Structure 1
Amino acid sequence: MHPLDALFDWLPDCDFGVMDHGFVPHGRDYSFVVESSMGKDPGRHQVQFTHVAELSYVTAVADDVWAKSWGEAFVDYQSWLDSGEPDGYVWGTCWSLAWPGIRAIEQSAKAAAWAARLGSPMYEAEIETDRFRISLIFHSLRWAKVSDEAATVSSVVIPLSSQGR
């Protein structure tokens, strides 16, 4: 069983916000703070991937959009507004929407190679947002709810209703 299977019990696989992410201070584990307005437990959660042996980050912002978004006005939301809302990617929102989202990489050759090297089970996952794609090889997963806050994501994600079908 892939560790992400348990995460999908309460977190939707897409349309959640990545509010913060990075290596925890000791440098072994990688943490995401996610916000969801849907699923079994809406709110903000810290999701920590443990024993991260490999991580890659690549932008999901298109090259031509990067060029338009190069200036400092794009890294501060108020500065972007004060600049007349120029066309480009606004980094200053300080969060990104998970789309197509998070997925478990089953039958991962990379994870198998790391498991053989380290002598412990390893897994691969990928999370993609409007801003980035991160792939990681890790051992386990843990999470904790940090608040009921869901206002940011609920202001941009409108759940589809099954009524009237």
Structure 2
Amino acid sequence: MDHGFIPHGRDYSFLVESSIGKDPGRHQVQFTHVVELSYATAVADDVWARSWGEAFVDYQSWLDAGEPDGYVWGTCWSLAWPGIRAIEPSAKAAAWATRLGCPMYEAEIETDRFRINLVFHSLRSAKVSSETSTVSSVVIPLSSQGS
């Protein structure tokens, strides 16, 4: 739903929404003591080219333009798939741990929109609301029954 550095600039936070699992809702996932972060697009080059215009950064403008083919940035959220994965072993985390004298870890978060790789010290999470309206309206749960 949202991501970025906390205002103090040390920690990086993701706001995620889930409608499944033990505790559905919006959760803040905070990576602390971020010493290295890289961001790359996950949108293919040809899709970028089709999605260049300003109509794609505002959902209503995209609708008004007749829903042209391309990536709609204006949804203002991205699907967290394939999601988060720990990088183990991590040469980058080991090098930072040696430099700082504290345990460090590496993770990658990948969505349909971006890939973020970060080296950090610890992870915190907290539920911030029970809101699930966004993900519930766009993600169709798979049936648990066999076909």
Aligned twin of 2:25:
43
Instruction: Find 1:81's aligned residue among 40, 63, 66.
Output: 63
Deviation at 1:40, TM superposition (A): 1.3
Q: Structure 2: which 5+ runs fail to align? A: none
Return the alpha-carbon distance in structure 1 between the equivalents of residues 9 and 75 of structure 2: 26
SS at match of 2:135: helix
Identity of aligned residues (%): 88
Q: Does 1:154 align with 2:136?
A: yes
Deviation at 1:39, TM superposition (A): 1.4
SS at match of 1:117: helix
Code of the aligned partner of 2:8: H
How many residues were matched structurally? 147
Deviation at 1:156, TM superposition (A): 1.9
TM-score by length of 1: 0.86
Q: Structure 1: which 5+ runs fail to align? A: 1-18
Aligned twin of 1:101:
83
Return the alpha-carbon distance in structure 2 between the equivalents of residues 80 and 55 of structure 1: 31
Return the alpha-carbon distance in structure 2 between the equivalents of residues 76 and 85 of structure 1: 11
**Superposed CA RMSD:** 1.0
Return the alpha-carbon distance in structure 2 between the equivalents of residues 95 and 89 of structure 1: 12
Question: Runs (4+) of structure 1 moved beyond 2 Å?
Answer: 158-165
Code of the aligned partner of 1:39: G
Return the alpha-carbon distance in structure 2 between the equivalents of residues 113 and 147 of structure 1: 37
